[in-house]
Chain A
Amino acid sequence: MTRYIGNTNEDREQMLREIGYENISSLFKSVPDSVLLRKKLDIPEALSEMELVKSIKSTSKENKNTDEYVCFLGAGAYDHYTPSPIDQLILRQEFYTSYTPYQPEISQGTLQAIFEYQTMISELTGLPVSNASMYDGASALAEAALMSCETTKRKEVLIASTVHPESRQVLYTYAKYRNITVKELAYENGQVSLDDLKSKINKDTAAVIVQNPNFFGIIEDVELISEIAHENKSLLTVSADPISLSILKSPGEMGADIAVGEGQSLGNPLNFGGPYLGFMAVTEKLMRKMPGRVVGQTTDKDGRRGFVLTLQTREQHIRRERATSNICTNQALNALQATMYLTFMGKEGLREVAEQCLNKSHYTYNELIKTGKFRPLFTAPFFKEFVVISEEPVSLLNEKLLKNNIIGGYKIEKDYPHLKNGYLIAVTEKRTREEIDTFVRKAGE
């Protein structure tokens, strides 16, 4: 037997004997002969632990990682710093190897962690009701659109073209199968065009969706958008960068009905795109329309405070085809990691991170423009990320940078073909002046 199986050969024989079977295959007699696999699976033979580690290590070495290379790539996933206690605490097996807290008496750890997470997300977004997290920022945004349609009984969604391209793609996929029409709003100077919004919004518009800071790193004028959306009785969804929320006005304060976003920045490693977490918070009014798990506070029969999964009747295991969503699991461990991050960084730390991002990205921007090889594209304010137009094609530029141990910015032309040589650069608190100066020097060569 392999090392992950409990029974010995003798155990097996004894167990079979005790329950009256001759051999293992007699337990499988309901599997018809015609579908029994008659060969050995054609996959590699088992590896010992030593062989496994060696083999996978060598595969991992074929990737260039952000420890060896200095990263200026963002576009929705960011190389932020994570305090060291998190890596150790997250491995506590009680968090790691448990499942959905169905039995609250032995799941108070997970339940309280989610309650604290919900409180923090609510605090960041300025909206009172947060769920326990969703798959990622993109699918949370799509779910927000579906929820808006369900609530308003309307079938059209307006989304800013300054929202992350992958979020828009995911929205298109989710919307297509629900016969929801998605229309994009043009941008001006890197911000949603209010004129375009006014001309496209109508009585069928269920949702207006913007991202702040947007894909270009720019801060949108959400309050003006909110007025237009609400005058039309449409719901406003704002997708936000949680780090920015320590200094920027919260979605709730600016009138959003739903706030969503990618939570990776909060202490979750880049991991080649996942697992991350999507957060979602809504107004009181939308509480019962919200998808996903929710934890609530209550008391036990001796009056002690405790936490439980609540408002479960919205969910698939009860409502089945009439549930608010098909979502079942949340991203509990990633949400826990985010909760730990927000705890260790705390009120002051998160603000300091945001301010360093702000200052370092502006310094980088100014230095890049000084080289004469890059020109500004937009003049609107930005947070930790910005777009410039490079003189040389971005692919060549990034190739050159890679040779200097730098992972360059995002080739924005991929998603906005008219922005030829557009270059999206993210600068987090991790970048030092020396790294930035090297990047600027090499990029400007």
Chain B
Amino acid sequence: MKLLEELKYVETHEWVRVEGNKAYIGITDYAQDKLGDVVYVEVPEIGTVVEAGDQFVVLESVKAASDVYAPISGTVVEVNEELEDNPALINESPYDAWIVAIDMSMPTEVDDLLSAEEYKELCE
């Protein structure tokens, strides 16, 4: 299982990369492995307001639909359009394949997220 030190993690298997007030969100290597081939990514519309813990993205594999939960509260400001044509990126390179970016309304929430080390323990 691959992990990046600089990212933050959630026990529901999302990762967060903070850039200024923006949080880029994707799923972990562990999650993509469990899910199998991702075939479709259902993203929220830009402008959608989410609270931490809300189900806001659905990842579809051939025989499953899995919810992704917002690790952080805020407004969806970007979605990764590349995934529309090539959802396999999530399997190939999970830490490059961000799914959405959120403009954080409560940046302090980041402090509650897990470090790579903590997340690793959780998965073991």
Does A23 sit at the interface, judged by CB under 8 A? no
**A277-320: which have CB < 8 Å to B?**
288, 312-313, 318-319
Instruction: Give every chain B residue within 8 A of A288 (Cβ-Cβ).
Output: 40, 42
Q: How far in angstroms is the closest Cβ of chain A from B37? A: 12
Instruction: Give every chain B residue within 8 A of A312 (Cβ-Cβ).
Output: 62-63
Does B57 sit at the interface, judged by CB under 8 A? no
Instruction: Give every chain A residue within 8 A of B52 (Cβ-Cβ).
Output: none
Instruction: Give every chain A residue within 8 A of B7 (Cβ-Cβ).
Output: none
Q: How far in angstroms is the closest Cβ of chain A from B113? A: 27
Q: How far in angstroms is the closest Cβ of chain B from A99? A: 18
Query: Contact between A319 and B65 (Cβ–Cβ < 8 Å)?
Result: yes
Task: Please report the C-alpha to C-alpha distance between residue A379 and residue B64 in the assembled complex, in whole angstroms.
Answer: 54
Query: Contact between B40 and A318 (Cβ–Cβ < 8 Å)?
Result: no
Instruction: Give every chain B residue within 8 A of A319 (Cβ-Cβ).
Output: 65
Instruction: Give every chain A residue within 8 A of B65 (Cβ-Cβ).
Output: 313, 318-319, 322
Instruction: Give every chain A residue within 8 A of B14 (Cβ-Cβ).
Output: none
Does B78 sit at the interface, judged by CB under 8 A? no
Q: How far in angstroms is the closest Cβ of chain B from A411? A: 48
Does B51 sit at the interface, judged by CB under 8 A? no
Q: How far in angstroms is the closest Cβ of chain A from B67? A: 9
Instruction: Give every chain A residue within 8 A of B63 (Cβ-Cβ).
Output: 312-313, 318
Q: How many residues of chain B have a CB within 8 Å of chain A? A: 9
Q: How far in angstroms is the closest Cβ of chain B from A61? A: 50
Q: Annotate A318-338 by CB proximity to B: 1 below 8 A, 0 otherwise.
A: 110010000000000000000
Question: Which of A288, A312, A313, A322 gathers most chain B CB within 10 Å?
Answer: A313
Question: Which of B39, B42, B65 gathers most chain A CB within 10 Å?
Answer: B65
Instruction: Give every chain B residue within 8 A of A313 (Cβ-Cβ).
Output: 39-40, 60-65
Instruction: Give every chain A residue within 8 A of B62 (Cβ-Cβ).
Output: 312-313
Task: Please report the C-alpha to C-alpha distance between residue A90 and residue B40 in the assembled complex, in whole angstroms.
Answer: 36
Question: Which of B39, B60, B63 gathers most chain A CB within 10 Å?
Answer: B60
Instruction: Give every chain A residue within 8 A of B42 (Cβ-Cβ).
Output: 288
Q: How far in angstroms is the closest Cβ of chain A from B11? A: 22
Task: Please report the C-alpha to C-alpha distance between residue A318 and residue B63 in the assembled complex, in whole angstroms.
Answer: 7
Task: Please report the C-alpha to C-alpha distance between residue A288 and residue B39 in the assembled complex, in whole angstroms.
Answer: 12
Q: Annotate B58-81 by CB proximity to A: 1 below 8 A, 0 otherwise.
A: 001111110000000000000000
Instruction: Give every chain A residue within 8 A of B40 (Cβ-Cβ).
Output: 288, 313
Instruction: Give every chain A residue within 8 A of B64 (Cβ-Cβ).
Output: 313, 318
Q: How far in angstroms is the closest Cβ of chain B from A101? A: 15
Task: Please report the C-alpha to C-alpha distance between residue A318 and residue B62 in the assembled complex, in whole angstroms.
Answer: 10
Task: Please report the C-alpha to C-alpha distance between residue A313 and residue B38 in the assembled complex, in whole angstroms.
Answer: 11
Task: Please report the C-alpha to C-alpha distance between residue A288 and residue B58 in the assembled complex, in whole angstroms.
Answer: 12
Instruction: Give every chain B residue within 8 A of A322 (Cβ-Cβ).
Output: 65
Instruction: Give every chain A residue within 8 A of B39 (Cβ-Cβ).
Output: 313
Instruction: Give every chain B residue within 8 A of A318 (Cβ-Cβ).
Output: 63-65
Q: How far in angstroms is the closest Cβ of chain B from A324? A: 11
Task: Please report the C-alpha to C-alpha distance between residue A83 and residue B89 in the assembled complex, in whole angstroms.
Answer: 51
**A58-82: which have CB < 8 Å to B?**
none
**B9-68: which have CB < 8 Å to A?**
39-40, 42, 60-65
Task: Please report the C-alpha to C-alpha distance between residue A445 and residue B64 in the assembled complex, in whole angstroms.
Answer: 66
- In the complex formed, the residue of B with least CB distance to A320 is B65
Task: Please report the C-alpha to C-alpha distance between residue A318 and residue B64 in the assembled complex, in whole angstroms.
Answer: 6
Q: How far in angstroms is the closest Cβ of chain B from A322? A: 8
Q: Annotate B90-110 by CB proximity to A: 1 below 8 A, 0 otherwise.
A: 000000000000000000000
Task: Please report the C-alpha to C-alpha distance between residue A288 and residue B40 in the assembled complex, in whole angstroms.
Answer: 10
Task: Please report the C-alpha to C-alpha distance between residue A288 and residue B65 in the assembled complex, in whole angstroms.
Answer: 13
Task: Please report the C-alpha to C-alpha distance between residue A322 and residue B64 in the assembled complex, in whole angstroms.
Answer: 12
Task: Please report the C-alpha to C-alpha distance between residue A70 and residue B59 in the assembled complex, in whole angstroms.
Answer: 56
Q: How far in angstroms is the closest Cβ of chain B from A286? A: 14
Q: How far in angstroms is the closest Cβ of chain B from A10? A: 44
Q: How far in angstroms is the closest Cβ of chain A from B45? A: 11
Task: Please report the C-alpha to C-alpha distance between residue A318 and residue B58 in the assembled complex, in whole angstroms.
Answer: 13
- In the complex formed, the residue of A with least CB distance to B60 is A313
Instruction: Give every chain A residue within 8 A of B61 (Cβ-Cβ).
Output: 313
Task: Please report the C-alpha to C-alpha distance between residue A322 and residue B60 in the assembled complex, in whole angstroms.
Answer: 13
Interface residues of B (CB under 8 A from A): 39-40, 42, 60-65
Apart from A288-B40, A312-B62, A313-B62, 14 more pairs, CB < 8 Å: A288-B42, A312-B63, A313-B39, A313-B40, A313-B60, A313-B61, A313-B63, A313-B64, A313-B65, A318-B63, A318-B64, A318-B65, A319-B65, A322-B65
5 A-B pairs with C-beta separation under 8 A: A312-B62, A313-B63, A318-B63, A318-B64, A322-B65
- Pick the 8 closest A-B CB pairs, nearest first: A313-B65, A313-B60, A319-B65, A318-B65, A318-B64, A312-B63, A318-B63, A313-B64
